[in-house]
Amino acid sequence: MARRLTFGPILILLLLGIMWLDERLTSVQLPDALRLLADANGNAQPGLLLLVLGLIAAARGGYELARLFRAMHIEASPRSLSIAAAAGLLAGSLAIGSQAPATFQPQAGAIVASAGILAVLFAMLAYVRHQELKGAATAVAATGFAFLYLGLALSFLMAVRREHSVWAMVAVILIIKACDSGAYFTGTAIGRHKLIPFISPGKTWEGLVGGLITSALAGAGFVALNRAFEGAYAPAKLTLADGVLLGLVLGLVGQAGDLSASVLKRDAGVKDAGKILPGFGGAIDMLDSLLIAAPIAYWYLLFHT
């Protein structure tokens, strides 16, 4: 817990700094050589810095995912899964949403499909080059899983960033993580009844309720702030009730994402997917609650635009 309390605020401040810098970059005029990265006015596309950061996180997550699969006796290639996860994020970022780069919008579906096919074919070629076919099917399937689970799922956060303000993306992340934190501290303090002990022994019903209350309050706070600034961050017609509902939905789905990662880790027989973040584990441990919740957040905000 001490490490979480120490590094948690540092990570939040770092996230806010990166978001602020990403927003500032949208006022930078790009040279003609980089016009594919520019919007209609020639300025940098929203989310360029976040995309670079996301690609690094997705690639690291692919490496950790391969580690988990190898512990399950599936000979997944860390390189193939890292490339597949990054490819899924990049393809989704070019294709999803009305504010995706105009150059790629007419072929959005083809971009995602082609990237997925190429990622799987690359994994198959990489695996059979040693002339060993046993286990090839499961290893290639693991690559497709990385493309979807890490890549495409994260690309919905990029779509939220482009469709609204960067601070809407911040709000989505903080609402989901508010449930994580609320569940952790409530469960630690008063948790008595196990939620799903065969998947995650530490989670309790009391923790889940505490987490959902926390995320609902965070959602209401975001909407109140958005209304105070006259819809500067998200759809102006969002009400406080919408904020509470958004918090509850994202909190609940975020917990499902956390449990989905726990299934993988329990199957692999490990506590954490990685060890790059003191007190938090690896990239997957940080991203798990976002992966399923990000598409929900995108569609929820879209239908309220």
Domain ranges of the chain: 47-163, 166-305
Predicted confidence at residue 29, as pLDDT, reads 86
Higher per-residue confidence, 291 vs 274: 291
Q: How confident is the model at residue 4 (pLDDT cuts 50, 70, 90)?
A: low
For residue 37, pLDDT beyond 90:
no
Identify the burial level of 187 via C-beta atoms within 10 angstroms of its C-beta, where 0-12 means exposed, 13-18 middle and 19 or more buried. buried
For residue 5, pLDDT beyond 60:
no
Predicted confidence at residue 155, as pLDDT, reads 95
Nearest-CA neighbor of 171 among 228, 241, 219, 237? 219
Which residue has tokens 């994202």? 250
Cα torsion 159, 164, 167, 171: sign: negative
Predicted confidence at residue 36, as pLDDT, reads 72
CA pair distance 123, 128, nearest whole angstrom: 9
pLDDT tens profile 226-253: 888 877 788 888 899 999 999 999 999 9
Average pLDDT score over the chain: 89
For residue 8, pLDDT beyond 70:
no
Predicted confidence at residue 6, as pLDDT, reads 63
User: Phi-psi region for residue 30, left (φ > 0), alpha (ψ -120 to 50) or beta?
Assistant: beta
pLDDT tens profile 132-165: 778 788 989 999 999 999 999 999 999 999 888 8
Predicted confidence at residue 235, as pLDDT, reads 81
Higher per-residue confidence, 42 vs 170: 170
CA 140 from chain center: how many Å?
23
Tokens of 58: 């997705």
